[in-house]
Amino acid sequence: MLDFKNKTVVITGGGSGIGKAASLAFARQGASVHIVEWNREQADAVVKEIKENKGSATAHSCDVSDQQQVSNVFSSIGRIDVLLNSAGVSNIGRAHNTSEKDFERVFNVNVKGVYNCLHEVIPVMQANGGGVILNMCSVAAFAGLNDRFAYSMSKGAVYSMTLSVAKDYITDSIRCNSISPARVHTPFVDDFLQKNYPGKEKEMYDKLAKTQPIGRMGTPEEIANFILFLCSDEASFITGCDYPIDGGFIRL
């Protein structure tokens, strides 16, 4: 089950948070992991951890919003069996107070970055007889979240791109799905609380956690476990789907 031996897995944003957990999980299952990350220090640290546990991993410095950089990195990797589009940024703000600069930053990373990776990986997968693409969406694409205008926009686009790719390349044996986590306890959450609620971090953390019916935030490892399944041969009949992994946030 969930065997990734002899498979090459590319993970954007694989140096932290959910991307890091996924990098470690794929490596444990035998994959050759390529971490595509703008923060090379973080990527190198994850590669070191993987290699210390007898896994295979390589770090690549890359800004996913730059198509030429993405092209250069993907070309250097060669065969790609699985692509996890996990790189992303967030922004706090509503339509009237989101600056053009912030809007473009979110769009360039979360939307154009995913497009750039799809643009480069699909011909590689076509040539190899198929592959799996998993995009990181969010409950923000489906539920109105306060003060997340630009971020919600970007995740709505990720969902639409997932459906388009699944439809367009199904005859190429390329599967494409997305997952939509709710709040997950990552370093991003801790940094956000420290920056915006100094001295009230625990209070605000508990408040955010309780917005989910299950009563807590998810862990990166819980998300990574589901990622493994959707990218595995055991999920070979699944394409064109988005899966909330949200502690009941959307439905309950």
Indicate whether 191 and 92 sit together in one domain: no
Indicate whether 96 and 212 sit together in one domain: no
- What beta strand segments (E) does 6-130 contain? 8-12, 32-37, 56-61, 82-85
pLDDT for the residue 52: 98
- With a CB cutoff of 8 Å and minimum separation 6, the contacts of 23 are 11, 14, 15, 33, 35, 46, 50, 57
Q: Nearest-5° angle of CA 7, CA 83, CA 220?
A: 100
In a domain, 247, yes or no: no
Rounded to an integer, the average pLDDT of 214-221 is 97
In a domain, 249, yes or no: no
Indicate whether 137 and 147 sit together in one domain: yes
Rounded to an integer, the average pLDDT of 17-40 is 98
Residue 26 C-alpha from the chain's centroid: 14
Q: Which two tokens stand for residue 92?
A: 């706090």
pLDDT for the residue 87: 98
If one counts the domains in the chain, the total is: 2
In a domain, 117, yes or no: yes
* CA nearest to 37, candidates 58, 55, 54: 58
Indicate whether 58 and 142 sit together in one domain: yes
What is the C-alpha separation between 106 and 155, in angstroms, rounded? 10
CATH number at residue 78: 3.40.50.720
What is the C-alpha separation between 19 and 212, in angstroms, rounded? 22
pLDDT for the residue 27: 98
Q: What is the pLDDT of residues 156-190, one digit of tens each?
A: 999 999 999 999 999 999 999 999 999 999 988 99
Report the run of H or E that residue 242 belongs to, with start and end: strand 242-245
pLDDT for the residue 195: 87
* CA nearest to 14, candidates 82, 76, 87: 87
Q: What is the pLDDT of residues 118-161, one digit of tens each?
A: 999 999 999 999 999 999 999 999 998 999 999 999 999 999 99
Indicate whether 143 and 205 sit together in one domain: no
Indicate whether 177 and 187 sit together in one domain: no
DSSP letter for each residue of 133-202:
EEEE--GGGTS--TTBHHHHHHHHHHHHHHHHHHHHTGGGTEEEEEEEE--B--HHHHHHHHHHSTT-HH
Q: What is the pLDDT of residues 51-106, one digit of tens each?
A: 999 999 999 999 999 999 999 999 999 999 999 999 999 999 999 999 999 999 99
Range of the domain at 160: 8-182+220-242
Which of 115, 151, 197, 243 is an active site residue? 151
In a domain, 105, yes or no: yes
Indicate whether 152 and 187 sit together in one domain: no
pLDDT for the residue 3: 97
Residue 196 has pLDDT above 90, yes or no: no
Q: What is the DSSP letter of 234?
A: G
Indicate whether 142 and 80 sit together in one domain: yes
- Establish whether 151 is a catalytic residue: yes
Residue 38 has pLDDT above 90, yes or no: yes
Indicate whether 89 and 197 sit together in one domain: no
Residue 19 has pLDDT above 90, yes or no: yes
Indicate whether 158 and 207 sit together in one domain: no
In a domain, 76, yes or no: yes
In a domain, 252, yes or no: no
pLDDT for the residue 192: 84
Indicate whether 135 and 213 sit together in one domain: no
Residue 44 has pLDDT above 90, yes or no: yes
**Average pLDDT value for the chain:** 97
What is the C-alpha separation between 244 and 247, in angstroms, rounded? 9
In a domain, 3, yes or no: no
Residue 113 has pLDDT above 90, yes or no: yes
Residue 5 has pLDDT above 90, yes or no: yes
Model's pTM, two decimal places? 0.96
In a domain, 2, yes or no: no
Rounded to an integer, the average pLDDT of 17-31 is 98
Indicate whether 86 and 67 sit together in one domain: yes
